[in-house]
Amino acid sequence: MFTGLIQALGTMEPLGGDSRQITCVSQSGEVIMQDLAYGDSVAVDGVCLTVEQVLKDGFIATASPETLRRTTLGGEQTQQRYVNLEASLKVGSKVGGHFVMGHVDGIGRLLVAEQTASSWEMTFIASEAIARYIVPKGSIAVNGISLTVAAYEPELSQFKVAVIPLTYNETNLRYLVSGSLVNLEGDILGKYVEKFLYSGNPHTKTYDDNSSDGITPAFLAEHGYL
């Protein structure tokens, strides 16, 4: 589990097959490397990978075929490039962003990035499978970065985020151009709400608007939530 607060910037280089070498390149890389050990989890552009070999200034990990298919770690972006790094959350650590699982839902694409007086406004398009978890003022992880949805256009599956200069300058967002692909992970809370709403409690009947069991649209309306 992660928080979406990026700790360091690195580069990722394919080693052949499913193996990837990640090298810390920013000065803050020591945060990642200080107690890194075999078997640890590190979020690489929002993808949870397991450390298989610790190097002097990085590590080697293997991405499964499913991970390569679903994220930007595979496909056309396998060449050396910058990636965001975050070590797994430790018990007692501050949670400054939101709970990020490192289980990417799919790939999105940057439409436009505009600099304003105090931030960068970035608009992304997401697939319908991801867009259903997007909520205005809710949280979303973009390349592993915890961001707040400033605006959402459901008919276009587009959302906008405001990125403060610190986040923009310390992550790989500054390297993105129109058309760049990004990893997207919806808020885990939304996924559980969907699960309960449409599947019902596993100990009750499956979802039915007339069912008397579990959480249903009728139940929510009756209690003032719709």
Largest CA distance in the chain: 60
* Assigned CATH topology for domain 8-87: Elongation Factor Tu (Ef-tu); domain 3 (2.40.30)
Q: Are 8-87 and 106-187 in the same CATH fold?
A: yes
How many residues are present in the chain?
226
Q: Which of 89-98, 108-117, 180-189 has the lowest mean pLDDT?
A: 89-98
CATH of 106-187, one of 1.10.1240.10, 3.40.30.10, 2.40.30.20, 1.10.580.10: 2.40.30.20
* pLDDT at residue 87 tops 60: yes
171/151 Cα distance (integer angstroms) = 22
Pick the more confident residue, 148 or 194: 148
Tell me which amino acid residue 109 is.
R
Q: Count Cβ atoms within 10 A of the Cβ of residue 184 and give its class: 0-12 exposed, 13-18 middle, 19 or more buried.
A: buried
Residues of the chain with pLDDT > 70, as a percent, come to: 85
The predicted-structure confidence for 161-219, as pLDDT tens digits, reads as follows 999 999 999 999 999 999 999 999 998 887 777 777 766 555 444 444 444 455 666 76
Q: Which residues pair with 122 in a beta bridge?
A: 113, 161
Q: What is the mean pLDDT of the chain?
A: 86
Which residue blocks in 128-216 are alpha helix, DSSP H?
Answer: 128-131, 165-170, 188-199
Tell me the H-state helices in 101-214. 128-131, 165-170, 188-199
Checking if the pLDDT of 53 tops 70, the result is yes
Q: Say which residue the tokens 């009750």 belong to.
A: 204
pLDDT value for 210 = 47
> Which pair of structure tokens corresponds to residue 196?
């309960």
Beta bridge partners of 86: 43
Run of H or E residues at 32? helix 30-33
Check if the beta carbon of residue 90 is closer than 8 Å to that of residue 175.
no
Residue extents of the structural domains in the chain? 8-87, 106-187, 189-222
Cα gap 166→36, rounded to integer Å:
25
